[in-house]
Structure 1
Amino acid sequence: MSEIEVIFSPSTEDSGTFKLLELPPDLLKLVEAAVEGNSSLALSVKGGLEEDAVLCTDEKTYTMRSVVLSNSVLVVTPPQTEEGQVDRIAIRDQLHDVIELVPSLPKLHKLKGILRGAEYDEGHEDEEMDDEDIPAESSPMRRKFTYADALQLQASEGELRRGLRDMRILNVGGRLRPISPSFLNTILELILNHLVSESVPHNAVPVDQLCLALEEHEIRRTVTLQVLAWFGVIRGPSWEMNVDEVLKQVALGILRPHKDEPVSEDEFLAQWKRAVSDTFEAQVSLTLLEGNYLSTTLPNRFPALPALLYFPSSSLPIDPAARFTDLFLTRSRWKAQDIAPYLADIAVDSKERDKLLLKYARAMTDAEGVWYITRNKI
């Protein structure tokens, strides 16, 4: 029987220097593929002093949390195999916990506060946002917040790119600036008018021609190209429009003023169809606006007329407990299909969404079906 001599490491610097990381299946596959293909894999740990650390790949974010092990794990060196010597292993460290990686949502909500006051609006086309043009009382990050700065947020680069697109944030002169909703709708309406007037198919729009047309309205090419990338795909000299995304944005521009006073559903749909022209009116549907409106009725009308109120999920808190509090303050009960869109941006997947519903709400059934009500009194 072979013998192995166990010794403690002579170095006092080893203790506490090792951490055991448990890889979820999808991340393990990335690591194995990188090893087998002899390619690089970029992993980064992000988080400030007041934040929980996250680990980011190119496309996903994982929360890092410590889980206590029932049995201790010893970190040892490989056995020595020199001829004539007894095999030896040295205990380098003793681990009592493992770092678990849990898929999580990117922490991009901070962008709203950081970029407040830097909105890009109509009339800013020639503005370069030089430092001297910005009030001295503005914070350094607000005065000059770049894409490189945003990479330090707790999100993968892929999630950051998608977040900037979904939040409609431009990169202008090297700085990140959210575009004004009204100005964005103006650009989209000009694009739709161009397609109709020039009889251009929406899935093969000449990019240069469209940029020149918008430059006549003093909209810079760099802004146009970013807007086109948000609402479609640029392939070489042509742009293919994502019709649903354009229709949704146009509708939000019409609905946004009705945050306190409802608008008749029929009136809203009629305005929406007029705004997108005959070419796209057949694709107008309220399903495109899920998570952005509440169905209600016009006050003081009999019989009751269906109406809509602007209520975007993006305006609600990111913290789940606060999110549910706001939802149940707005409505005392919700149908599953109505509340689900308001949880999409705080849950990684439908499984986590269902866990949130179990934690913060309870189901009840009546003749109309299943409803969710609050678990706690508000």
Structure 2
Amino acid sequence: MHERLVQFTDKAQDPAGTRTTSYQLLALPPALAALLSTAPSSSSSALEIRGDLADSAVLVTDWQTYALRGVQNSNSLCVCASGSGDDEGRQKWFVSGTGGSVGASAEPAIDDADDGPARKKTKYAPIEIEAVLHETLEAVPAVARTDKLEALLKGAEYAGDAAEEDAATQATRQHVTFDSLRSRIPASDAEIRTALKRNRVVELDGYLRPLPSSFLLSILPSVLSTLPVPAAIAHTAAPTGKKDKGKGKAVPAAASSGPVWTEAEDDDLVDALDAVDCGSEQVARALLGWFGEELEVAGKRRWKLDARQVVKEVGIVSLANGGFGRQPLDPFVTKWKSVAGGFAPLCELSLLAGLHICEPPPLSTIQYLPPSSLSPDPAARFAELFSLKSRWLEADMSLFIDDLTGGDKKKRDALVLKFVRKVRERETTWWTPRNLWT
């Protein structure tokens, strides 16, 4: 049997008092292991741990967030290093079954075998145990937690030229940069940028500036009025010659859910926004970039925009501007169409799916309900939804819980199994709350 001296690191015997190293095992899934193996050695670290004191720490790549969870090891694992053999007070011995007899003490030992001459045993450097680990961290894919983005950017809003010139507003303004934000939100850079776009945040002079719904409602109609209305949309509400109470017959181009592309000159759009208190070209072009792309045709800059997405944004900010309470449905739709102007045929409630709930007649109300206004905790989220409606259709409720699972159907089914009871009435299946008092 081979014998080897083992000793534990004694921090108290470190004269400089500099032994502060600690260890933690991290098990990486195949995707992360492949990322580390292919990352250039000269590039910055491919992995980063983020989260402030109020959050659970997460591991992020450039585009993905991983939750960290501790798993107890069935056997204790030791972190070892070669020792010097000078710490005689804590020397231990262990025997490894590799055959042969080898000594490892600081002093040479004499072989006391009876069948041969005495000989010295070979000396080996002792093993020094620096830490004993009882837990391993596992990295599992997780949904980015960007729910506190609105709170972090509160006070940094851009509300037009007049507000920028107000000295009182400038004195109380928050100055938030992307670098300061990424250190406080447990999400990857790509996921944070997606959340910034979703929350209508622009970068102005290096600082992040949200655009309030009231400001967007005042400037987006100028964009729509500058865009040429495609022929298919212009003829959507044309009379059909039948007694249809003045309503036109919708054509497929307007009724479809695909994009409705239209182009306009860059100067025309920027000037139109400047005329409604949005004089910053940087803000104007960032806003236009949400709905399309910039082109260069015959040496002139043009914008190719999806008019359907602009109309959708007008509907969202109109709904948000009315608060989170219920408001009459018909007056809301009428106002939405009047603001959309020539693009009024595109104003359909299906564009706002997942951002509102409607009550049928005789109430006929609509309520603004973006998922960002709901709790990120699954139990609280289902409780809030069932407090608004006692039963839901699967297609309707799924829109308000998909952000909890990142679109993962298996995770969504697990949440439904835990919090939802399915009740079938004739050919319709309703989702009702599951009693959790037990």
TM-score range, shorter chain: 0.7 to 0.9
The answer to whether structure 1 residue 294 and structure 2 residue 387 are counterparts is no
Q: Which moved more, 1:367-376 or 1:113-122?
A: 113-122
Match of 1:328 in 2: 386
Distance 2:337 2:37 in 1: 52
Counterpart among 280, 305, 319 of residue 241 in structure 1: 305
Match of 1:313 in 2: 371
Distance 2:58 2:167 in 1: 33
Give the SS at the match of 1:52. Answer: coil
The answer to whether structure 1 residue 342 and structure 2 residue 400 are counterparts is yes
Aligned ranges for residues 1-378 of structure 1 at < 5 Å?
A: 5=4, 7-8=6-7, 12=11, 17-34=22-39, 39-77=43-81, 91-124=129-162, 126-127=164-165, 133-134=171-172, 143-153=174-184, 154-196=186-228, 202=261, 204-219=263-278, 220-234=280-294, 237-256=301-320, 257=322, 259-264=324-329, 269=333, 271-278=335-342, 280=343, 283-299=346-362, 308-350=366-408, 351-376=410-435
Identity %: 32
Give the SS at the match of 2:56. Answer: coil
Give the SS at the match of 1:342. Answer: coil
Give the SS at the match of 1:27. Answer: helix
Cα distance, 1:353 vs structure 2: 2.1
Cα distance, 1:99 vs structure 2: 0.7
**8 Å CA contact retained: 1:128, 1:173:** no
Amino acid at match of 2:370: P
Distance 1:111 1:320 in 2: 19
Cα distance, 1:332 vs structure 2: 0.7
Give the SS at the match of 1:17. Answer: coil
- The unaligned stretches of length 5 or more in structure 2 are 12-17, 83-121, 232-259
TM-aligned CA distance change 1:374 to 1:206, over 3 Å: same
Cα distance, 1:367 vs structure 2: 1.4
Distance 2:155 2:282 in 1: 21
**8 Å CA contact retained: 1:169, 1:176:** yes
Aligned-residue RMSD, C-alpha: 3.5
Give the SS at the match of 2:146. Answer: coil
**8 Å CA contact retained: 1:42, 1:58:** yes
Cα distance, 1:61 vs structure 2: 1.6
**8 Å CA contact retained: 1:57, 1:156:** yes
Give the SS at the match of 2:227. Answer: helix
Cα distance, 1:109 vs structure 2: 2.0
Which TM-score applies when normalising by structure 1? 0.80
Cα distance, 1:206 vs structure 2: 3.7
Cα distance, 1:325 vs structure 2: 1.2
Cα distance, 1:217 vs structure 2: 3.2
The structure having more radius of gyration, on CA atoms, is 2
Cα distance, 1:284 vs structure 2: 4.3
* Cα offsets for 1:242-269 (capped at 9, x unmatched): 444322211123434385444346x655
* Cα offsets for 1:280-338 (capped at 9, x unmatched): 555544332111121322437xxxxx653333323222222221111111011111111
Distance 1:68 1:24 in 2: 17
Give the SS at the match of 2:71. Answer: strand
**8 Å CA contact retained: 1:232, 1:240:** yes
Distance 2:167 2:145 in 1: 26
Distance 2:175 2:168 in 1: 9
Amino acid at match of 2:211: I
TM-aligned CA distance change 1:4 to 1:168, over 3 Å: farther
Distance 2:53 2:323 in 1: 41
Count of residues in Structure 1 that have an aligned counterpart in Structure 2 = 357
Cα distance, 1:21 vs structure 2: 0.9
Match of 1:303 in 2: none
Question: Larger relative CO (CA 8 A, sep 6+): 1 or 2?
Answer: 2
Cα distance, 1:57 vs structure 2: 1.2
Amino acid at match of 2:397: I
* Cα offsets for 1:96-141 (capped at 9, x unmatched): 111111222323222222333443324546438789622xxxxxxx
Amino acid at match of 1:62: Y
- The unaligned stretches of length 5 or more in structure 1 are 79-83, 135-141, 301-305
Cα distance, 1:52 vs structure 2: 1.2
